[in-house]
């Protein structure tokens, strides 16, 4: 009988360990929404969203203020439309600007919000008009190589 009790305890311990690993994996992948509280939605349009993904962080001054909820393409203007959910304790002025930034040199992309001086705040369903698209590393390298080739070819006598 004692052996059966030990086996049951080991089984429970293994089960708790598996639940903890699933929880940790979901937090690491930003798949689980374990934050409580309601927020409001804002949208922004970008000419290039780069590698931005749904569930990407939205930060202001380095502080997590929300998450990207969806990304779509406007069929008329062919701009990327990003919808984000902002936590209700953070309010932003109407002249806030949004930039797609990268964590580190080759890290994940996120949206950075920079509030402006306007006293009127964005409401639920509001749109951020001032945006700056993602910097795509491949485009920068291509421009650098093209400029280097043009400079090297024009130096002859």
44: Cβ–Cβ under 8 A, 6 or more apart, which residues? 81, 82, 84, 98, 111, 127, 128, 131
CB 74 within 8 A of CB 44: no
Q: Could you read off the pLDDT of 109-133 as tens digits, one per residue?
A: 899 999 999 999 999 999 999 998 8
Q: Is residue 16 part of a domain?
A: no
Q: Could you read off the pLDDT of 82-110 as tens digits, one per residue?
A: 999 999 999 999 999 999 998 876 778 89
Q: Among 71, 62, 69, 70, which residue's Cα sits nearest to residue 112?
A: 62
Q: Is residue 127 part of a domain?
A: yes
Residue 130's domain comprises: 39-135
Phi, psi at residue 143, to the nearest 5°? -65, -40
Q: Is residue 150 part of a domain?
A: no
């Amino acid at each position: 009988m004692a052996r059966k009790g030990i086996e049951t305890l080991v089984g429970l311990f293994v089960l708790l360990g598996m639940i903890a690993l699933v929880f940790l994996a979901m937090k690491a992948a930003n798949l689980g929404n374990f934050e409580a509280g309601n927020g409001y939605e804002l949208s922004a349009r970008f000419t290039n969203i780069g590698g931005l993904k749904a569930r990407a962080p939205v930060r202001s001054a380095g502080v997590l203020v929300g998450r990207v909820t969806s990304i779509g393409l406007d069929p008329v203007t062919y701009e990327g439309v990003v919808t984000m959910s902002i936590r209700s304790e953070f309010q932003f002025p109407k002249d806030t600007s949004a930039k797609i930034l990268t964590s580190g040199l080759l890290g994940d992309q996120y949206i950075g919000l920079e509030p402006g001086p306007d006293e009127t705040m964005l409401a639920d369903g509001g749109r951020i008009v001032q945006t700056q698209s993602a910097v795509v590393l491949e485009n920068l390298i291509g421009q650098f190589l093209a400029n280097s080739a043009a400079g090297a070819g024009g130096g002859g006598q």
